[in-house]
Amino acid sequence: MGGSTINGLDRSEADQDAVAMSGNRQRHWEKVYSEKAETDLSWHQDDPAPSLAFCDLAGIGAGNSAIDIGGGRSRLAERLLDRGLTDVTVLDLSQAALEAARRALGPRRDAVTWINAGITEWLPQRTWDLWHDRAVFHFLTEQADRDAYIERLERAVRPGGHAIIATFALDGPERCSGLPVQRYSPESLGRVLGPGFERVADQAHLHSTPSGRAQSFQFSLFLRKG
């Protein structure tokens, strides 16, 4: 059972499987974001109020940096700019989502750093004060993908920084956008993230989709230990 060489590096079959899975994810989300209007997306929020409330708890202000994971069509980057942040990054697997977000920001689009990458393949080159993820982590149903996510989380959040991670709660949907999800309580999410993160706050949130369906989320705020 041999591996292959990509860019001079040997890849195992497991690595090749991970790359293939990432490509499948990207095709899925490009299709979703290319074919659906923003208000047709079940996770759409006009106002990311729960996330902003946790930003307040974390003390995030004008002098801080933030990265929004899977935030291509989220309004969070816009709201952070409104609050005076000048170091805001958005990462998303879908180029279509990022392009739509850039158009929506208009002249302020260049105030945001845009990264088109999958969270399990991206390699952070710096740290941020705040990591925000609303509804990405719960799509990672394979242990290898969760491990890759946590590795990036640990590398990207400075000691003393914070992470806001929102997932479907234990009584939330079992699938989203045609894909299975892994549901969490704040306690189970904390156990998965491991000892490098201390949970400092959590809140249940009932999200109303544009079609009027209720979805049960949990939002948790973690402190990155030094």
Q: What is the pLDDT of residue 178?
A: 86
Q: What is the pLDDT of residue 7?
A: 32
Ranking 30-39, 175-184, 195-204, 215-224 by mean pLDDT, the lowest is: 30-39
Question: Cα-flanking dihedrals φ and ψ of residue 44, to 5°?
Answer: -60, 135
Confirm if 153 and 70 have CB atoms less than 8 A apart: no
Higher pLDDT, 134 or 38: 134
C-alpha 159/C-alpha 157 separation (Å) is 7
Q: What is the pLDDT of residue 45?
A: 85
Q: What is the pLDDT of residue 8?
A: 33
**71-86 burial: b if 16+ Cβ within 10 Å, else e:** bbbbbbbbbbeebebe
CA dihedral sign of residues 20, 121, 172, 52: negative
Q: What is the pLDDT of residue 6?
A: 28
Mean pLDDT of 180-208: 97
N residues, the chain: 226
For residue 2, what pLDDT band results from cuts at 50, 70 and 90?
very low
Q: What is the pLDDT of residue 10?
A: 39
Q: What is the pLDDT of residues 119-136, one digit of tens each?
A: 999 999 999 999 999 999
The structure's pTM equals 0.85
Residue 17 has pLDDT above 50, yes or no: no
